[in-house]
Structures are given as structure tokens and as C-alpha cells.
Structure 1
Amino acid sequence: MAGPEPDRYRLSDEERDEALERLRTALEEGRLDSEEHGERSGAVLKAVTNTDLVPVFEDLPAASRPGALAVPGVNGPGNEPSPAAGAPAGREKGKNSPDRRNRPNVGGLVIWGGIIFVLWGVPSISSGNTNAILAWLFFLVVFMVPGVVVASVQAVRNRSEGGRRAID
């Protein structure tokens, strides 16, 4: 790999998983055969530091390299750090990106809350039936509020972790 070497540090499991995913993509693209993919995957699993990944990815395009090989301060294709390596949240837009997998579906929660309110809450309130209003409020507190609280806490954690990663 030409250019400055990345700072050496120990790999996390998440960074190894990203490297394995990049190798799977290279296999799917036809850049590697199955035997070479197996050898390189074994090397990734045995890698202790990010510099151990350099020989595994040196003959692959820069876009195929994992974020653990990104050189700080050097921007270019494939040199942007991945979310696992400290990139700001939201860089990966895919349906299965780490940001989207670990996040509750707040939009769905809001839609269901609106449907329940229209179908149950409005009739309960307009009828004035105390038991119906209390049952609806109980449902709201037990099922809807925890979902919103969990989503809010996770959003705050993701923002604070993103800020810490950017500083590190």
C-alpha cells in the first residue's frame, strides 16, 4: 500500500467483522477466488493489529479496504474511516448498516400510536367513559412510552459515542 501507514492499534471484533465483509464483497465481485478468500479470511481472524490487515488488502482497490486501514488526515476513496473505526454516524446509508440495525423503528411506533389514538383514544375521550379512557391511557403508558424512551436514549447514546469517536 503506497503512502503513509496508519497508526498501529489493536483491532476490535467489529473491525474484524468489517474486514471480513469487505473480503466477502471482493469474492462476490470476482476479485478473489474461494481458496484465496479462505486464506485471507483466516489472516483477518488471526490479525491482532490494524497493520496486520495491510498485506491482506494491499492488492485490492482502496474502496475495498476496511476503515481500520484508513490513514488519519489522508482523504481519498476507501480511506474514510468506517463507523466501526470512528466515522460519524450516518455515513453508511444501507438498510443493514450498523446504525439502522440497532435502532428501534420510531416511525412505526408513531404510526401505530396514531392509529391506536384514532381508533381507541378519540372514541374513548368523546364517549366520556372513564374506564375506556383509563384503559387507553394504561395501554399508552405501558406500550408506547417505553418505546419512545428507549429510542430517545439510544439516539442520545449514538450522538455522544459519535462525538467521542470523532475526538479520539
Structure 2
Amino acid sequence: MSDDAHPPAPDRSGQRAADSDRKLTVDRLRHALDEGRLDLSEYDERIASAYQAKTYGDLDRLLADIPGTVPAGQSELEAVQPGAVTSREAVDKRRARRRKELRGIWSGFGGALIFFTGLWAIGWIASGNPPGHYWPAWIVGIWGIGALASTWSKLMNDD
């Protein structure tokens, strides 16, 4: 195989680093701390240096002695642009939408339960006789089955 398949990455060590590059370096340093490669005081020093870094070269020096990390200047990953939707944000939006839909389903069921039970109670009080049966059970029972089916469908659907 020739080296033409993977041309060397341009040297970006003198280029200005973005906030997202600094955050990526901090995340890599945190991972190194979790692995025990850095002690807490060295981690604190490097974090402070990462937030003060101006160029990719400044960030690369912070990761140079940590195995398994790719310096920001050599990374082929692109920084996330401000305002871009990450997969985590998309999941959070989907969950919020699903919660809102489920809240609508079950608040409708609760409203119907209160309304029909109120009608049943008014009829009982107005007649003065003990009730023969709780007739709203038929309405709210069917409504509840529909609400359960709809909830199950929303929870099992991944879109």
C-alpha cells in the first residue's frame, strides 16, 4: 500500500484553538485523571493551562505524555459548532416531547374520570338512594385501556 491513501495531516500547532478544542482537551485530561495517570494537583494545573491555551500546540503539550490521547492539533474530529444539535440534545428533546404527549393522554383520562364520577355522585345525591352500580366504570375503563395502549405505543416507539 502506498502512503497516498492517508496523506499527512497539516501541522495545526500554530493555529488558534476554539473553546470546543479546549473542552475536548479538558475531557481527555479528566479521563486521564480517572485512569490514575494524573494526580489531582497536576490535573488542576493542566486544566488551568487548557483554559488559557491559545493554540493547538498549547493544548497538545498538555496531552503529550498521556498515552492513548490524540492531541487536538492532530485530531481529525471537527469541533461541534455552536448551536449544533448533539445526539444527547436530540434524545432530551425526544424525551421531553414524549413526556408532554403522555401527560396529555393521562390528564385527559383523569379529567374524564373526575367528570363522570361527578355525574354519578350528583345522580346518587339527587336520588337519595344508594347507587346500584358505578356506571362510569364502563366509560373510564374503556378510556383507560385506550390510554394504556397509547402509552405503550409511545414508550415502544423510538422516533
TM-score, length basis structure 2: 0.49
> For the pair shown, which has the larger CA radius of gyration, 1 or 2?
2
